[in-house]
Amino acid sequence: MHWLTWAFIPLVVFALWLYTAQLSNGFPLFQGKRICLLIAHPDDEAMFFAPTLLALTRPEQGNHVKILCMSSGNADGLGDVRKQELVKSAMMLGLRSEDDVLIIEDKNFPDSMTTTWHPRLLSNLLTTAFAPKMASTPSTSAPVASIDVLITFDPTGISSHPNHISLYHGAHSFLKALMHRHSGWECPIRLYTLSSTNILRKYISILDSPMTILSCMWRKKELGSYPTPLLL
């Protein structure tokens, strides 16, 4: 009986894999969108957003995905190495070109476990990058941006890193500024965030599968050009 129990485990795992693969096919994805992944450090793209990038960069989706990284991750003096690693990682995760990876090196955005980046400064940088005509666009016209979707961390920052959390508030500040003077118009950029989970669920690995499956089944799906939730 003991060996039968052990033999049954791979079958259960395989069945769960098949079910989750089928479940993921039922969730909507973006198509033909200009998307920016906003991260704080090199390696964020792989540690937290690899499934997101792999899904959104599929050729059949027709999306153009870029990565904007707000620091070189130079806290330990390895900034140059980490920048190269980020570019290589991005290409492996499906980005079209190395030019689609932009890494910012600014004293206002240090790689630090104790520093919170100012949302206004982040907003200003995002404006320069994606809405340079914000100030000159008349209030009688719709606001204009060079991206359709912005993806970043949620208010908890997944790991509670202050740099991660700062990106959420900076992104909100940017969108608020973009819509200033344009009441009544639809925001040209949709913000999506990666949901944080508690420590227990984060580290129990495959044992979290039932909870993940159930939460995906229960969440209401909304279709359209900007669907929600995205299973990323």
The DSSP annotation for 150-175 comes to EEEE-TTHHHH-HHHHHHHHHHHHHH
Q: For 82-108, write each residue's pLDDT tens digit.
A: 999 999 999 999 999 999 999 999 999
49, part of any domain: yes
Asked whether residue 46 is domain-assigned, the answer is yes
Structural domain includes residue 179: yes
Number of domains in the chain: 1
Q: 165 lies in which domain range?
A: 35-211
Sheet holding 190-194, edge to edge: 101-103, 64-69, 34-39, 149-153, 190-194
What is the distance between the alpha carbons of residues 153 and 95, in angstroms, rounded to a whole number?
A: 20
What pLDDT does residue 231 have? 44
The packing angle between helices 2-25 and 209-218, to 10°, is 30
Contacts of 37 (CB under 8 A, 6+ apart): 45, 49, 52, 53, 65, 66, 67, 68, 151, 152
Residue 183 falls inside a structural domain: yes
> pLDDT 10s digit of each residue in the chain, 232 long?
566 667 677 777 677 666 666 655 555 678 999 999 999 999 999 999 999 999 999 999 999 999 999 999 999 999 999 999 999 999 999 999 999 999 999 999 999 999 999 999 999 999 999 999 999 999 999 999 999 999 999 999 999 999 999 999 999 999 999 999 999 999 999 999 998 888 777 777 767 767 776 666 666 556 566 766 554 4
Closest of 49, 57, 66 to residue 29, by C-alpha: 57
- Whether 41 and 74 have beta carbons less than 8 Å apart is answered as no
pLDDT, tens digit, for every residue of 12-31?
A: 767 766 666 665 555 567 89
Asked if 38 contacts 173 with a C-beta cutoff of 8 angstroms, the reply is no
What CATH number is associated with residue 165? 3.40.50.10320
d(CA 125, CA 54): 26
Share of the chain above pLDDT 70, in %: 81
